[in-house]
Amino acid sequence: MLSGLIGTKLGMTEYTDEGGIVLAATVVSLGPCHVTQVKTAATDGYEAIQVTFGRRKHSRVRAPQRGHFAKSEVAPGIATREFRAIGGAEIKLGQAVSAADVFKPGDMVDVAGVSKGRGYAGVIKRHHFGGFPGSHGTHEYFRHGGSIGNRSYPGRVFKGLRMAGQMGNEAVTVPNLRVLRVLPEDNAVVISGALPGARGGIVIVRHAAKHRRTEEERGAANA
């Protein structure tokens, strides 16, 4: 079908596996996503499936976008992305793709989203600096970052130096998470661990690009 889907983060919960181990998990509402364009090497230079998720107000969509979505007879969505087609199933314009069509329990996935914005943060909150002593002569310099360079050499501040600045509100991808459960009736999946962003934020769930084998898989391969 597709290599991934678009969805929204619903929130975190607990999940108990078959061995009775309680795991931290996140519930994601995936789809249904509708196919808005089928790209081919002959017409576009590469092959991909464009899908859209959700529904946007008609007044918030520009005229060229309205025409694009009208070709597939799909309402404009709040998020549109491209995915690779996997398998031999035929994909048509306007087709609805649900979570159960793409994922199954046990799949390893990469989840991308936008992290929560924390505003302008200092070095202690942003980079976990230890700060200065609370006594022994320290005066009004408790949460500072300290020296950022020398005067003669290098005579400048090195690029990439950890300093205060904007924290969060950036694209984050968490790799190699496991799909614990698929809820077809709710178009949702339960994924192990924490995902970037706040509740209600848009997330992109794809099949893992670099699948990291678990201990069980490594043991079975060596047996």
State pTM to two decimals. 0.84
Band of residue 215 on the pLDDT scale cut at 50, 70, 90: low
The string of pLDDT tens digits covering residues 158-189 is: 999 999 999 999 999 999 999 999 999 999 99
Angle, vertex CA 159, rays to CA 125 and CA 121, nearest 5: 20
- One-letter amino acid identity for 150? N
Band of residue 89 on the pLDDT scale cut at 50, 70, 90: confident
Q: How high is the mean pLDDT of the chain?
A: 91
Band of residue 213 on the pLDDT scale cut at 50, 70, 90: low
The string of pLDDT tens digits covering residues 136-151 is: 999 999 999 999 999 8
Extents of the domains making up the chain: 4-117+174-222, 118-167
Reading phi first (left if > 0) and then psi (alpha if -120 to 50, else beta), residue 148 is in: alpha
48 beta partners: 39
Domain topology for 4-117+174-222: Elongation Factor Tu (Ef-tu); domain 3 (2.40.30)
- DSSP notation for the chain: -BSEEEEEEEEEEEEE-TTS-EEEEEEEEE--EEEEEEE-HHHHSS-EEEEEES---GGGS-HHHHHHHHHTT-PPPSEEEEE-B-SS----TT-EE-HHHH--TT-EEEEEEEPPP-EEE-HHHHH------SSTT--S-SS-------TTTT-SPPTT---SEEES-SEEEEEEEEEEEEEGGGTEEEEES--SS-TT-EEEEEE-SSPPPPHHHHHHHH-
